[in-house]
Structure 1
């Protein structure tokens, strides 16, 4: 991990610390929302994000079945 990512990672994990614990029957959607919220708030705090969306380029869902 690069040193410049430390503030982003710490703020992300602090958000998880303040979130209520997951219930036993958590779903992929609830986990995604939980992670997304932590990443969003960490981005607001540090004006950066820890990840990049480049790895998802070309994998978008363009239509529903």
Structure 2
């Protein structure tokens, strides 16, 4: 996979669309977890949300640079 993407003549790093997709996926995941009451059983919800986002962002990012 190329490390740069050209979109409408603008060159951007490949991690930017992955970051955007990860943010959207995290918002959806966060909504499901809050609706089911999962965060009532988590010690620190903000830390858990951050850790889940890092996992969601890191997995596709490793496929690019591997």
- Normalised to the residue count of structure 2, the TM-score between the two structures is 0.44
Which protein has greater RCO, CA pairs closer than 8 Å, 6+ apart? 1
Q: Which has the higher helix share?
A: 2
CA radius of gyration, larger in: 2
